[in-house]
């Protein structure tokens, strides 16, 4: 199943990262997401990081959802 909660990279060794999912640490492969750094949040599927959540995109989300309120009032 899809882990919807992203984890944070706390260490990188070669093609493997240690990712912290709110206290639970797992080894995660970086083959599909080579350009990440310690501190980045990543979405993980079956032991592989498949996407990162960068700050700009995180803000985009917040803006989109702040807009939701307005969107719900209107029309």
Judged by the rule CB under 8 A, the positions of this chain that interact with other proteins are 1-2, 4-6, 15, 27, 29, 31-34, 41, 43, 45-48, 50-51, 53, 57-58, 60-62, 64-65, 68-69, 72
Q: Residue 3 or 38: which CB sits closer to other proteins?
A: 3
Do 57 and 41 contact (CB within 8 A), yes or no? no
| Rounded-to-10 torsion of CA 36, 39, 40, 44 | 90
Q: Residue 11 or 46: which CB sits closer to other proteins?
A: 46
Nearest to 52 by CA among 4, 3, 6: 6
Q: Residue 38 or 50: which CB sits closer to other proteins?
A: 50
């Amino acid at each position: 199943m899809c882990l919807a909660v992203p984890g944070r990279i706390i260490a990188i060794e070669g093609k493997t990262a240690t990712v912290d999912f709110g206290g639970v640490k797992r080894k995660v492969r970086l083959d599909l997401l080579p350009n990440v750094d310690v501190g980045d949040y990543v979405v993980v599927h079956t032991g592989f990081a498949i996407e990162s959540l960068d700050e700009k995109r995180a803000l985009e989300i917040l803006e989109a959802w702040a807009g939701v309120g307005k969107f719900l009032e209107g029309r």
